[in-house]
Structure 1
Amino acid sequence: MTSDARREFDRPDLIDPAPDGTPKVQRLETFRLRGFFKTLGPGLITGASDDDPSGIGTYSQAGAQLGYGIGWTMLLTFPLMVAIQEISGRVGRVTGHGIAGNVCRHYSGGLLAVIVMLLFTANTINIAADLAAMADATKLLIGGPALFYVVAFGTISVLAQIFFDYKRYVSVLKWLTLCLFAYVGALAAAKVDWGQAAAGVLIPHLAWSSTYLTTIVAILGTTISPYLFFWQASQEAEEERIDPHKKPLIKTPQDAPQEFQRIRADTIIGMAFSNLIALAIIITAAATLHASGKTDIETSAQAAEALRPIAGPFAEWIFALGIVGTGLLAIPVLAGSAAYAVGEGRRWPVGLARKPKQAVAFYSVLALSAVLGIALNFAPINPISALYWSAVINGVLAVPVMVLLMLIARRRDAMHRFVVRGPLHWLGWLSTAAMGVSVVAMAVGYLL
């Protein structure tokens, strides 16, 4: 090989020559964080929204009550979360429809109606609890009436979803995920016994007590939630619909390898981010609240307030600011997933990329869910009790939704050649079984 030929062979930026024989040069883009961040989408937002204010309350309570020994649950739930969320993303990308859109095409309308009703109810209660937590955190930081903040945050979230340009709005949601790093800052302010923390993550510690089992059920119900399945599947379908270069993979099978690789990377990064932040919250609570005997934490705002005398005002502030940021991320996902589920089930025009007049019914459901969430904060309902019942509904709903998702993923009339097989298939069923066991345990604990 000549030296000139060798130079051409060694240059990957040279591609097939032009008709005149001159090599055409294709610029190779170097890795840039901003460019990489742009490639992330539904998986990242889904994972980050999992750490909503109510989830932060659950993780804080777990760390405060049980210390470092509960950290292993984050290692356990990670592959289960990745599997079920990746399957959700694949279903949306392959078929061009979300979960509700596929259920209405392949299963009975009555079954879909029950599932959608339960999802809408659970999401609305969750929105109410998240708004209450955000309002309490804001009141903790700057004072003022909590109900005013409830209305303000709820209104901002709804108006942004309805009137913001879709691409700009998704970009805002992506940047909001960075607010979760507040909990890394809170962790830095805590005096952590890293040996015990590592043992808590790597060595499962089981205690046969109602408190311990209830906490494990709460963590599973918080990390594997139905609204996350609906959101990721619908967002994959939405991204395909608005991109003129994309079609459902059943129509463009040649795009499948690249798209599946993107969905997997996006999902793994999103779920890893979610679990690492959840673990940071658990360790922070264990190192501060549990270590000082403060185990009666029930909400994320209480956790932030309790940190002040132990870890200082810095930890309290960043913990509280994180609650507000995660709420602004989670409420649109909760309201949006409910609207997608109802709209797809009714075969309405759906999608945040549509103008309000193009999808009136879709946006009406979205606004209704948020407005009812705001209204619940004016009702004489204990927010802790509401959150508990939201977790119960989510836990009960997750199992049939996951079963349906797994069945759809294996239907050739839905997925064609892209039915889910192999380790991903079995991990999906393992995740479904884990949720089923958690629901049974929750029911037994409630009856006893």
Structure 2
Amino acid sequence: MIKKYFKNIGPGTLVAAAFIGPGTVTICTLAGVNFGFNLLWAMLLSIIATIVLQEMAARLGIISQKGLSEVIREEIKIPFLKHFITLLILAAIVVGNASYEAGNISGGILGLETIFGEFNFVIGGLSINFMSLIIGVIAFVLLYIGNYKFIEKALVTLVLLMSFSFVITAVITQPNILEVLKGMFVPKFPEKSLLTVIGLIGTTVVPYNLFLHASLVKERWKNKEDVSLAKTDTIISIILGGMVSMAIIISAASIPSKDILNVADLAKGLAPLYGEFAKYFLALGLFAAGITSAITAPLAAAYVAQGCLGLKGNMQSKSFKMVWMIILLLGVIFSSIGIKPIEIIKFAQVANGMLLPIIAGILLWIMNKKNVLGTFVNTKTQNIFGFVILAISIFLGAKGIMKVFGLL
């Protein structure tokens, strides 16, 4: 059974690699530090919602043998609506991933610097972080090879390393199992926790992962009979990713100090309490989280750009490579010289806040179209879960946009 799973492991793990980036690690750290185990239920809810939506995206990719953006272009017949949604997808995912890429690389840098210290050099009065160049080169090499199976194996290895690192850290802190279970299954809203709950769900149920998953499964599987394999891969991989997020919350909950702003601070805080091992495991996990997201974000943007613009080709095509190269290059530049493109990130957050409910709604609509999926359309149960998640995504999207404009 285990051997069979590892043989078929793939796109689902890449999706888990994509949603456990430095942003997720940071929000999970803050959730644990500020609210203990009380918000573990929000992560459990996020895992269920992610499994439901990602399973739909994977099923669509295998049956149609098309990416989600391609199907949207074909199925929406009203020109104005088609152009608006296409522009929104491009803005949220291509521009968004370009602005978030610096954060992905910076997260990986924090992991390395926790172990090795800082390495900066000055050129013409400009201080450049050497670590960001290292991460950029690793990501470039993996993407440039352009072989899906090779990228898949590299990311699966990194995800397993990340999972091992964070889970071991959580075990080292010896949490109270009964309190952990209460936090998971008894929803609580401690004072000032609403934005953290929104953050936990928003960093797990990610719009670009729906596009990434639909595109990746058709690289891996070509037959309708493979839908069950994709479903198993999705469920196990996202549960594994969710365990990583929960492990970070559990680790952070054991720290008495509140002066922790990110996982690098957490690593330093754990060291005097649980020994240097905790610090190194956490730093290694953060490095893996940063580099996996630094690879999957440009990959998703390239798939989306191809689908939205109607470009043909695979991972080896010039247009595909051009998109991910631009996004990776921007990320390396912004992170290496310490620039934070705040206005672009705000714009991307607004676009993403609008995109998730729209795409969740469109996905539900498409998943009930027999001309696209035949007998693989949604069941009643899948639709009920889907509509509940759609309602949650509308709430999150509205809150996220209000937060950006300072209304919350």
What TM-score results when the alignment is normalised by the length of structure 1? 0.82
- 1:382: Cα distance to partner? 4.6
Q: Which residue of 1 aligns with 2:407?
A: 447
Q: Which residue of 1 aligns with 2:154?
A: 172
- 1:311: Cα distance to partner? 2.6
The 3-state SS of whatever aligns with 1:68 is: coil
- 1:277: Cα distance to partner? 1.2
In the alignment, is residue 138 of structure 1 matched against residue 112 of structure 2? yes
- 1:91: Cα distance to partner? 1.0
The amino acid of 2:91's aligned partner reads: M
The C-alpha deviation readout for 1:277-330, integer Å capped at 9, x for no partner, is 11111111112x2xx1x2343323222223223332111111001111122222
Q: Which residue of 1 aligns with 2:14?
A: 45
The amino acid of 1:64's aligned partner reads: V
Distance 2:26 2:37 in 1: 16
Distance 1:194 1:390 in 2: 39
The C-alpha deviation readout for 1:22-70, integer Å capped at 9, x for no partner, is xxxxxxxxx4x44420212111221233212221111011111111111
Q: CA RMSD in A?
A: 2.2
Q: Which residue of 1 aligns with 2:124?
A: none
In the alignment, is residue 195 of structure 1 matched against residue 155 of structure 2? no
The amino acid of 2:301's aligned partner reads: A
Alpha carbons of 1:96 and 1:375: their partners in 2 closer, same or farther (altered >3 Å)? Answer: same
| Larger mean Cα displacement after TM superposition, 390-399 or 331-340 | 390-399
Q: Decide whether the 8 Å contact of 2:367 with 2:378 is kept in 1.
A: yes
Q: Which residue of 1 aligns with 2:48?
A: 79
Distance 2:341 2:284 in 1: 20
Q: Decide whether the 8 Å contact of 1:64 with 1:297 is kept in 2.
A: yes
In the alignment, is residue 409 of structure 1 matched against residue 372 of structure 2? no
Distance 1:390 1:63 in 2: 27
The amino acid of 1:99's aligned partner reads: L
Distance 1:393 1:308 in 2: 39
Q: Decide whether the 8 Å contact of 1:57 with 1:299 is kept in 2.
A: yes
Q: Which residue of 2 aligns with 1:155?
A: 137
Q: Decide whether the 8 Å contact of 2:55 with 2:231 is kept in 1.
A: yes
Distance 2:213 2:330 in 1: 23
Q: Decide whether the 8 Å contact of 1:398 with 1:435 is kept in 2.
A: yes
| Larger mean Cα displacement after TM superposition, 190-199 or 64-73 | 190-199
Q: Which residue of 2 aligns with 1:8?
A: none
Distance 2:118 2:248 in 1: 27
Distance 2:148 2:19 in 1: 21
Q: Which residue of 1 aligns with 2:167?
A: 184
Matches within 5 A, 1:79-118: 79-107=48-76, 108-118=82-92
- 1:397: Cα distance to partner? 2.2
Q: Which residue of 2 aligns with 1:243?
A: none
Distance 1:393 1:320 in 2: 32
In the alignment, is residue 272 of structure 1 matched against residue 239 of structure 2? yes
Q: Which residue of 2 aligns with 1:20?
A: none
The 3-state SS of whatever aligns with 1:69 is: coil
Alignment length (residue pairs): 392
Distance 1:66 1:388 in 2: 26
Q: Which residue of 1 aligns with 2:282?
A: 319
- 1:219: Cα distance to partner? 0.5
Q: Which one of 398, 421, 431 corresponds to residue 356 of structure 2?
A: 398
The C-alpha deviation readout for 1:351-399, integer Å capped at 9, x for no partner, is 33xx3xxx10111001111111112225664589987775554333212
Q: Which one of 347, 364, 374 corresponds to residue 332 of structure 2?
A: 374
Q: Decide whether the 8 Å contact of 1:298 with 1:384 is kept in 2.
A: no
Q: Decide whether the 8 Å contact of 1:123 with 1:334 is kept in 2.
A: yes
Q: Which residue of 1 aligns with 2:309?
A: 346
The 3-state SS of whatever aligns with 1:348 is: coil
Structure 1: segments with no counterpart, 5+ residues: 1-30, 241-245, 248-255
Structure 2: segments with no counterpart, 5+ residues: 77-81, 121-128
The amino acid of 2:247's aligned partner reads: A
Distance 1:387 1:222 in 2: 14
Q: Decide whether the 8 Å contact of 1:340 with 1:350 is kept in 2.
A: no
Distance 2:28 2:205 in 1: 14
Identity level (%): 23
Q: Rg bigger for which structure? A: 1
Q: Decide whether the 8 Å contact of 2:105 with 2:290 is kept in 1.
A: yes
Distance 2:363 2:11 in 1: 17
Q: Which residue of 2 aligns with 1:310?
A: 273
